[in-house]
Structure 1
Amino acid sequence: MPQAHFVVHVSGLFRQFISAASLFQTLARNSPAARVPRLTGGRVATALLLLGLSLIVSAPAQARKKHRPPAGGRAAVVVDERLAALRDAPELSANLLQRLGRGRFVAVTGERGSRDGVTFYRVAVTRRTAGWLQSDAVVRPSRAGDDERLLRLIRGSEEFDRVSRARIFLDAFPRSPLRPAVLLLFGDTSEEAAAKLTREAQRRLDAREMEAGGAPQASYFLNFNGLDRYRRQGVVFVFDRATKQFHYDGAGWREIVRRYPQSSEAAEARKRLAGATAAAR
């Protein structure tokens, strides 16, 4: 579960907790003793603690619901946020209801063409929110050819955008014959990102401050916040303590070799892994 969603959700739960606490205390003070048992300070504190824990424990389950498509349609996921404008009618000039971010799940319940020849999907975003979305903004795992279309978009993307869209492909199309090509792009782009992140970390992490902090130097690099968004896409970086450089851990390349050993991408993946092994010596 993304940390930002969890923090927002817990902050809302905290407000609920405070409201419930105020109500609980008011009832304890004002209710007639004959009808409401007298609560000692310890009992009130215990009751409030249990209430707070029950709300917070439910947060992950409720937050996860936001990352599944609503029921009642065919699942689709946003891959091109530039086109992901939810509208109140299947026309590019129709009123904008909201913008949907990359990776957002929707449920497709209908389809219609606009006067301009653009195909729109009728989609449900939540149980209460629905509208019309340009079909080019999403891919549907059940629709033939959408894996090819997403691969073209991945190849036309750069840096983090390429990694993010490749991650969507790998999650949405687990049995696509194009998966080895996407895994190779995912790994190569992650290794390119490692070089850029190395330069950023070396520029922003002050050697004297790290020494004064007393923690192992590698821990400062591996806690560098520039890694966070890649980690959320499933990219793991390792840190070479001798050269003070990040490198991609090679998981995507190893998957190619393990699952698709006869593919053309497997030969390239073996080269990448051999190079990474030699560099680590």
Structure 2
Amino acid sequence: MNPKFLLQRILPCFMFFLGLAFGLGQTQQVIVDADTGNEVDDFYALALILADSSTEVSALNAAHWQTSHWAVNRTMENSHRLNQQLLGEMGLQVKTLRGAQARMYDWGDRAQHSAAAYNIIAQAKQNKEVTVLVLGALTNVASAVFISPEIAENLKIYWLGTTIDFDTNVLKRNDFNALMDPFALDYLLDSKVDMNIMPINVAVDMEIGYEELSQAIGNTKLGNFLIKRWDDHLDGARKSRVLWDLALVSVFLNPEFGKTTIVQTSRDSGNRRVTYYSAIDANAIYQDFYKVLSAFEKR
């Protein structure tokens, strides 16, 4: 047999098994849960993880922000529509699911039954570990665990919320995401879900000026779309904003951009060990964000 022909037959098989052995070419799967209609930062965080080649978003869930004083009618539907709009702008096809219309109920079956919650359940029953990035209220994840408590140990949650004093371990829950569903947070803290939290007092380092951001990304189609979200959103921030959610997504993708510490929560906050981000490198996060967006435009 011709040695060249033999090599052509054997080499692809060898590379295939090498890939299986070392995980080459594999992408990590994540569920992303976002209250996209609430603020500007969700679009930026979603654009990063959707553009990142190392990660596959298996479902993009819409989260409510119905408890907010700024709430529009049907906030979850508002988030759902914007999720689909962003995917259209990026030319991507990702499963988009509706989540809860509002926070969990006050008594009885407290779960909000939704397509998002049941998809989390289905994935957790099929896999030993399912990662969910939550950019808003914890309603969808907590409802999934309330419906099927046995999935708790299979879930790894990354969430933006709460404020913590790292010297005293005092936890405060007076931020937007926590207040959108206080029971959901309590329920998950009391569960066996693996929780990794980006606190507000760390993510605040993500403040950036409009001019700096627009100069960095405004020369691309996707960048212009993201800047338009900044321009069109109705709030008082014009010259600068904190892109909170971008911090969580970026350090998930690039652990070297953040530092973590283990916090033992108090008895009224689960009395458990929770991983908290104690610091982030905001400059590195933004530089990587610009690079990923630029690479995506060239695909």
TM-score normalised by L of structure 1:
0.29
Which structure has the highest strand share of the two?
Answer: 2
Which structure has the highest helix share of the two?
Answer: 1
Higher Cα Rg, which structure: 1
Flag the structure with more relative contact order, 1 or 2, with Cα contacts below 8 A and sequence separation at least 6: 2
TM-score normalised by L of structure 2:
0.28
